[in-house]
Amino acid sequence: MGRIVVDTRITNLFDEDKSIRCGVLVDTGAGALILPTAWKERLGEFKRSETVSLQLANQDVLEGEACWPVEIEIEGFRPVSNEVIFVDMEGEDDNGYEPLLGYVILEQAQAAVDLVGHRLVPVRYIDMK
């Protein structure tokens, strides 16, 4: 599968002046929206947060901080409310980080991966099966 990067805006729902717009790598192996800890201050204070454990593809486990509520708006799709998980990422500046957009957010936004066109496409119905 090729790389799919989508323009996404993340907004703190209790401080809507605090938001981040960035390119996010679609990763259907991940569940959540993952951002670098270095960006956390840009979204201000959160109503809720807790430490969570995350398992990587190589089976390593690391700690992250889940913070909510945020609005996540993938360009061209409906905005959804969920959480963001902050993890320590290697990178020297904003261009060195690789935020991830997982399948839970994609399903909420009614977006699916087009493997041939290397893009996101709208899903007509929310799955209730």
Quick: pLDDT tens for 92-122: 666 689 999 999 999 999 999 999 999 999 9
CA 41, 47, 50, 55 torsion-angle sign: negative
pTM greater than 0.85 (yes/no): yes
Q: In which element (H, E) is residue 99 found?
A: none
Return the exposure string of 68-95: e unless at least 16 CB atoms fall within 10 Å of the residue's CB, then b: bebebbbeebeebebbbbbbebeeeeee
pLDDT value of residue 64: 98
Quick: pLDDT tens for 34-79: 999 999 999 999 999 999 999 998 999 999 999 999 999 999 999 9
Q: In which element (H, E) is residue 61 found?
A: strand 61-74
What one-character DSSP code corresponds to residue 44? Answer: -
Strand partners, 22: 8
